[in-house]
Amino acid sequence: MAGLSIQELLSEKEAGLDLELLAGEHGLDHRIHVPRIQKPGLALAGYTTNLHPDRIQVLGSTELSYLNQLPVETSADNLKQLCGLGVSCFIITKGQSPPDLLIHEVERCGIPLLRTHQQSSTFISLITKFLEERLLPSTTIHGVLVEILGVGVLLLGKSGIGKSECALDLILRGHRLVADDVVKVRMKLPAVLFGEGLDLSHYHMEIRGLGIINIKHLFGVAAIRERKKIDMAIELVEWDDHVEYDRLGLSEQTYSLLGLSIPLLRIPVRHGRNMTSIVEVAARNHVLKEMGYHSALEFQDRLEKRMAEMTRLHAHAIIGDNLE
């Protein structure tokens, strides 16, 4: 899991965190490794058993008013015990002023003390979303991500196999492009994979012989999407006459990304095959499977019942002949 320094958090301007440094500048190199926050109410009262020092500690109106009501000696002792645990940082909400005792203790221990003018509930929502985006595992893969009837389909295959051409044909049919050539994949809690394009190549697609085209400008905003959950992967492979391909759809394959598995189909590419139609039908079939309807399994079940019925009738016929 990646780490994020307090300095990087302080420098973030686009997430709406509105942070400023009040004290503890020497601790700006502290790193955050988990996308969760904590409100240290019990720890301020001296009970630190369930405190998680690696999490950002958020101090709202309740925590600060409680500190101000404590006797000075008790407040100093509790803060000394809390800061001695190696807290990553404190963040005060609603633009409140910190007690002098808190400033003294964070300076002594080298713990950054930040402040935001956001309400506690708003800030917790913003910081949690931001940390999930930055800290959860991510990777980049070579492929094309398209949305077909609400299904996020990741097209895989070696360079030149026809992924971009297939995606372009899907766009002409009314489906949407998420990313071409390089797909940035992030894992989101609890166990979901989301894909998006790189900032530089967003909305762009490379078509050999044509060059770089801008899908947003050519087809409008309805033909693109910023990010999409990856529901399935389709690998385009060259047709090999010596390979026996799945003809019933009973074999279930998976593709592993960031430790998670998604359904995988391998579709052989051959001259004359309409790959766009096959990919579109694969997405439609995935929707049916998600609804609990599996065409191949239903066909197998009907076939087994028919064979069992024919066996039964054949056995009765033999018994009848023997009786005669």
**Hey, where are the domains in the chain?**
4-135, 138-293
What does the CA dihedral 45, 51, 54, 55 come to, rounded to 10 degrees?
-80
SS percent in the chain: helix, strand, coil, step 5: 40, 25, 35
Which amino acid, 317? A
One CATH from 3.40.50.2020, 1.10.3470.10, 3.40.1390.20, 3.40.50.2300 for 4-135: 3.40.1390.20
- Give yes or no on whether 4-135 and 138-293 have one common fold: no
Of 253, 272, 296, the closest CA to residue 156 belongs to 253
Of 195, 94, 186, the closest CA to residue 152 belongs to 195
Two structure tokens written together for 125: 């929502």
Tens of pLDDT along the chain (324 residues) come to 458 899 999 988 878 888 999 999 999 999 998 888 999 989 998 888 889 999 999 999 999 999 989 999 999 999 999 999 999 999 999 999 999 999 999 999 999 999 999 999 999 999 998 888 888 888 999 999 999 999 999 999 998 898 999 999 999 999 999 999 999 998 887 788 999 998 877 888 988 888 899 999 999 999 999 999 999 999 999 988 777 777 777 778 899 998 899 999 999 988 878 999 999 999 999 988 888 887 777 877 888 888 888 887 777 676 666 655
User: DSSP secondary-structure letter at 288?
Assistant: H
pTM for the whole structure: 0.69
* Angle between helix 163-172 and helix 275-290 axes, rounded to 10 deg: 70
Positions marked catalytic: 142, 163, 181, 247
CATH code of domain 138-293: 3.40.50.300
